[in-house]
Each structure stands twice: as C-alpha cells, then as structure tokens.
Structure 1
Amino acid sequence: MKTEVYGHFHPDERQFVDKAWEWVTHAGEYHETKLTEFLDPRQGFILQSLVNRHPDVIVRWEGGHPEAERKRALVAPDYRDLDHEDMELKVLAITSGEQKFLALEHGDYMGSILGLGVKRGKIGDIHVLEDGCHVVVAADIADYLSMNLTGVHRIQVSTEVLPLSSLRNSEVKLETMDLTVASLRLDGIAADVTRLSRSKILAPIKAGRVRVNWKVEEDPSCALKDGDMVSIQGFGRFKVLEVGSLTKKGRYRVQVGKFV
C-alpha cells in the first residue's frame, strides 16, 4: 500500500504522507482517534485524500470559520459521531492602547508568537482587525501565549483568551496587479510583484524561503498557473488570479492578487 500511497505525492512530502497514513490506518484498524495540529491546505488535501481511500475512516475539520486556511483535523473510525467532539481551539485576542498598534500586520503577529518558542502547528489563522487581532490557537498553549505575549513589534499589547465562538475573522483583501511577463517562471513573476530585481529574488528562492501552494519551491524556473499561491518569507503572499492571452510581442498577461 505504501508505494500506491506515495505515487500521488511529491517525494518531499513523504514524511507527512507517512504520518497521515498512520493516523488513518490506526483509526481504521485499531479504532483510535487523532486530533492533529493545524494543517496547511496542502497537508489537508493529502490527509483528506488518504481518508477517502479507507472505507472505515472519517475526518472532521475545524479552523474557526468556514473559509479558514489552516485547520485541525480529527481522524476517527467511521462509527464515531464527531459533531460534538472538542476540537480544542481557543481565540487569543490581542489589543493595545498605542496608536501605532493599528499599523501592525499579519507577519508582525506571527513573528512575535513564534518568537516565544511556539511551534507553527499550534497556530491557526491570524485575523488582523481594525481594532486588534484574533488568533486561532490550540487550547493547550492559549494560556501560555496570554501570559507571555506582552509585545508585538516593540509595541506593548494586552491579551485575552476567548472561546472559539467569539472569533472575529478578517476578510481577505487582495490588491490586484496586472503584469505582462516574458514567461510564467516563478522568479520573473515574483520579481515583478515584490518590485525586486530578478537577481535579488533568486536569494530567497534558493534559500528555501519561497513556497508555492504551501510547498517549498527552490527552482526559479518553476512555471506558475491559475490559482497558484506564492508566499515569500519577508515579502508576503500573492495569488495568480488569471493567466490571460499573449500580447502582440508574445508576452503573457497575468493578473495577480497581493494579500494586504
């Protein structure tokens, strides 16, 4: 079965596939349940694909709201009713009396939380609001974060742990950009979006700091297509919204949405 499982996924994903297949088989064969950490959409796709292959296993997903990007999964035997199971999620509400606080961005919050030694898998979506920030977190680290997160980007903050029902989620805002590019290569499009030179964008790509659809991509020539999500550490994220027709000079018209 292992070879059959691996056949559909990238070799780099083998470690996660192994782990996810173990959750599935233990649920199906030994009647165990597994509550995962927060999974990104690619990991979620892999786990759901594996669950679909086992007739005796079900999975429940929860990330705080229907459009959540990062979610926890509860993998269980198919006779279990998972609707009322505790998914062990809390909301960390972050506020501040300082005016500069309102200028903080997603990356500022993420950096400060991870700087406390918390693993990424314990943190779900981060919702930057007009008057603060709501972070979906694993229940077992909520109190630790509340006690230890006293500042974000050198701004003093206050925190409170709330139930998941109190989550206020932010709307995803995209700043659209219309580009004309010589090719659909990752380095070319990323350079235009970040306004860096082609040579400067190569450094984060080759250092493994760029992800395409949540997978590390170190090949600058990787071709992007409609729907691809690209994140560049330190420069934010963008999505390829549409690859349009060619111009008379043979260049591609590409519309991207930059997350703001």
Structure 2
Amino acid sequence: MAKNYSNGNSEKEVHLLERRLIDLSRVAYQRDIITFTDFLNLNEQNILHTLPKDSLYTGYILFGGYASAERQMAAFIPEALSLRYGKKNLLPEELGYPFQAVEICPRNIRFAEDLTHRDFLGAILNLGIERSRTGDILLEEHRAYLFAQTEIAELVSRELSNVRHTPVKCRLTELEGVEYVPRTEAVRGTVSSVRLDSLLPLAFSSSRSRLSGLIEGAKVFVNGKLITSNGYQVKENDLISVRGMGKFRYIGTGGKTKKNRLSVEIERYI
C-alpha cells in the first residue's frame, strides 16, 4: 500500500519507526513481557495503526495518562500474559506504563505570568529533554500537568525552576492523582451529511472550501488514524484531531430539518 509522507515524516523516518515498532512487538512475544514505545504523536500512532496486522507479533494498547490524550505510549502485550490475567482485554492501569505526571505551579500566584502551553513546553525542552520522552501538557488555572517517562519526570521535578520569568515548583504526582476534566463546549448545527469535510466547518466556524485542504494535507486524524479522504463518514463518538487547530468529538445526529439537512451535535475542546 502506498504511504502518504506529507504529514511530516520522511520515508526513511517511517521505515525506521515501523522497524522499531515491529521489534518491540517481537521482543514482547519472545520474552513474554510487556514492551513500551516512547510517546507517539498522532502521525506516529497512525503509522502503528496502519502496519500490516501480520507484521506484529502481539496486540497493543495506547495510553497517554488520561482519556483522549493526544500523545500516547503503546504497550505491546503478549497473548500469554493476557491469559495469565484471565481476560483478553487488559486495562491501561494494569500494564504499569513507565511514566508519571509532574504538577508544575507558580511559587507565587500573585506575580505569575499568564503562561501558555508553548511556554511550558519550551522550558521543559530547554532542560535538554527529547520531546518523544514527554506526553501531553495539560493547563489548568495556575498550574500545569506534564506526563513524562519516569526518569524524565524525576528530572523535571528536580531541575525545572522557571517558566519564562515565573519561578515554579514541581512535584511528582501519580497518574490517578491527576484530576483533569477537559473544557469543552457543545456545538449544534446542520450539515448536508456526516462526511468529515462537512463537520470541520461546523467545528471550526469556517468555510468548507478553506478547511477541505486540511484533510488532503494529512492534518486530520480520526481516533488517532490519519484520514485523507474528504468523504470519510464519521461515526458517533469519533474523536477528530486537526493539527494546529484543535479537536472535537462527534456526538451524533438529532434528525432532519425541513430542508432535508441533518441536525448534529459535536463537543469541541477549548
């Protein structure tokens, strides 16, 4: 099958990642252990999803620390291990993913700057940390949560002292201790169909002609899989992520209008 490399991955990079994923799956199978990737971005998750099934030796589960995480780590699980648990489908918390959360807070909220995702990411990368070793950064009022491989989380908690000009303090937090509820807003409207190119204009308040190029430009993912067809039919509860613009979940259809258009509802992440 021909691959689309316009998503930012060169043919060589794709080939190397494919080999790495297959090797991890083979090690999990041969040694009867769970093996883990680094954190994968949406492009890399799509490469994993589109590997021929017979090239992998095991199944896998993706997890990023919370529901609907964008950057996720894959765990390759040998079938024998699932049998020992007595069930086929294991939960992420049963797998011992090797990452933790770091809570980052201003030392003095009164004098803290209005910090952005870019500010936190820049401060973390300035410690010499590779992006592949960190997951999502969640922003809440007066604090942020970083998901990172355990040794990286420990490094950040020791070394990160400032974000821009704001002194900060960090502490390690178990994944269960991150009580994050994403901010969303309900968006309702009418569309001619539940094709992907019909839902994007509703989600991002723009024209169909302006946004259709995003799909052909390999910037739109549905449940982590790259979609390059404008006519892709979206299903209820699908999570659609658009690089550089955000993400939304398709909730469903409420019926037809007198003009034979579909009333739909989506949940947009803000």
- TM-score, structure 1 as length reference: 0.68
Q: 1:112 aligns with which of 115, 122, 125?
A: 122
Q: Helix, strand or coil: the match of 2:232?
A: coil
Q: Distance in 1 between matches of 2:97 and 2:183?
A: 28
Q: 1:184 aligns with which of 182, 185, 194?
A: 194
* CA displacement at 1:193 relative to structure 2: 1.6
* Unaligned 5+ runs, structure 1: 1-5
Contact 1:178-1:253 within 8 A present in 2 as well = yes
Q: Distance in 2 between matches of 1:61 and 1:230?
A: 17
Letter paired with 1:174: T
Q: Which residue of 1 aligns with 2:101?
A: 91
Equivalent positions of 1:1-260 (< 5 A) are 19-31=20-32, 33-38=34-39, 63-64=64-65, 67=67, 69=69, 70-71=72-73, 73=75, 75=77, 78=80, 87-96=97-106, 97=108, 104=115, 107-108=117-118, 112=122, 116=126, 118-145=129-156, 147=159, 150-151=162-163, 156=166, 158-164=168-174, 167-260=177-270
Contact 1:17-1:46 within 8 A present in 2 as well = no
* Unaligned 5+ runs, structure 2: 5-13, 86-92
Q: Distance in 1 between matches of 2:139 and 2:244?
A: 17
- TM-score, structure 2 as length reference: 0.66
Indicate the RMSD between aligned Cα atoms, in angstroms: 4.4
* CA displacement at 1:63 relative to structure 2: 4.8
* CA displacement at 1:139 relative to structure 2: 1.8
Q: Helix, strand or coil: the match of 1:37?
A: strand
Change (3 A) 1:123 1:200: same
Change (3 A) 1:114 1:229: farther
Q: Helix, strand or coil: the match of 2:234?
A: coil
Q: Distance in 1 between matches of 2:111 and 2:209?
A: 34
Q: Distance in 2 between matches of 1:100 and 1:212?
A: 41
Instruction: Name the % identity.
Output: 20
Letter paired with 2:197: D
